Structure 1
Amino acid sequence: MAAYAVHMMEEFSFNWRDWARAVIKLPVEWGDFYVTNAVVIVLGIAQAFLAPTLAVAPLGFASLMAMNAIFFHILPVIVTKGRFSPGLFTAVVLFLPVAWVVWARAIEDGQVDAKTATIAILGAALLMAYPIVMLHLRSRPYFRQT
């Protein structure tokens, strides 16, 4: 959670919203950023409580962090030939190492089998995709509340 808190500060400080609109074409507002990150905090707290009895919870959260780092920070910098992605520093310095350590510890403790790994990774991918899908769906006539 500490890594995510610092990451959110970096994204906010370097105007992630405008970067996301310009570079990855997300129709995002600051309110979306706040709500999504509030959900991440709740999920982070929940996975910490579940960790002793449900290994898939911290593995899913660690996978979410790694996917965020790779797909929303590192790859966009590569694709745009170096354009800075707000959150890049903490994604590389915190998210990837934390995700690695969580997975390594779970493997070392014998908590990872194929089913657990699959559920953790697929669950993280779905969690990563969910707010993006919602952002795109809300502009459709059926979902407009006007």
Structure 2
Amino acid sequence: MTLSAWIWVATASYALHMLEEYQLDWRDWARNVIGLPVEWGDFYVTNAIVVVLGFVAAHIASAQPALALTFPALMLINATFFHVLPFAWTKGRFSPGLFTAVILFYPVGLGCYLGAAVDGLLDTGAAVISFGLGALLMAFPIVLIRIRSHPYFRQNY
């Protein structure tokens, strides 16, 4: 499969992941386990943007592989730092999204990198850039959620 095809599969996998998170109440888990003051609106907007990023990544895969690989990097970072590691740190407390993170994100995310390698689009630079940008994308909404209560960012005056 080509990198583009893999990223389309990754986008579909992310949609299933969002469904699992929503149905199993990721918001309350995030509030209670990782202390993130998230609302459902944050979840909806962030995940809508993730879907758009998946579409863009699939379309630019052959021309900009490092940027396109940011999407599967985001998946792998999400799976590891927001599902598998919290599950381990809490000694088995379930993290909504854990099933799809393990069953879909790891194999499909790695499949994207394999697809890029088969297409001749993967080198060390692309891998490093993709994971760096993936980490920034993962951090961006969290930083915004954390700083929005700061008086400088409040718009209710």
TM-score, structure 1 as length reference: 0.97
Structure 2 residue 26 is the aligned partner of structure 1 residue 16? yes
Q: Contact 1:58–1:102 (CA<8 Å) still a contact in 2?
A: no
What is the CA–CA distance in structure 2 between the aligned matches of 1:44 and 1:109, rounded to whole Å? 19
Structure 2 residue 119 is the aligned partner of structure 1 residue 109? yes
Unaligned 5+ residue runs, structure 2? 1-10
Deviation at 1:120, TM superposition (A): 0.5
Deviation at 1:2, TM superposition (A): 1.0
What is the CA–CA distance in structure 1 between the aligned matches of 2:14 and 2:24, rounded to whole Å? 15
1:41-120 equivalent positions in 2, closer than 5 A: 41-120=51-130
Which residue is 1:133 aligned to?
Answer: 143
What is the CA–CA distance in structure 1 between the aligned matches of 2:111 and 2:122, rounded to whole Å? 13
Q: Contact 2:62–2:121 (CA<8 Å) still a contact in 1?
A: no
Aligned residues: 146
Deviation at 1:39, TM superposition (A): 0.4
Deviation at 1:13, TM superposition (A): 0.3
Equivalent position amino acid for 1:117 in 2: A
What is the CA–CA distance in structure 2 between the aligned matches of 1:58 and 1:94, rounded to whole Å? 18
Deviation at 1:109, TM superposition (A): 2.5
Which residue is 2:3 aligned to?
Answer: none
Counterpart pick for 1:31 among 41, 51, 70:
41
TM-score, structure 2 as length reference: 0.90
What is the CA–CA distance in structure 2 between the aligned matches of 1:5 and 1:114, rounded to whole Å? 29
Equivalent position amino acid for 2:112 in 1: V
Please identify, of 87-96 and 48-57, the stretch whose mean Cα deviation from structure 2 is larger: 48-57
Q: Percent identity?
A: 57
What is the CA–CA distance in structure 1 between the aligned matches of 2:67 and 2:112, rounded to whole Å? 11
Structure 1 residue ranges, 4+ long, deviating more than 3 angstroms after superposition = none
Deviations along 1:55-94, one digit per CA (max 9) or x if unpaired, are 1133110110000000000000000000000000000000
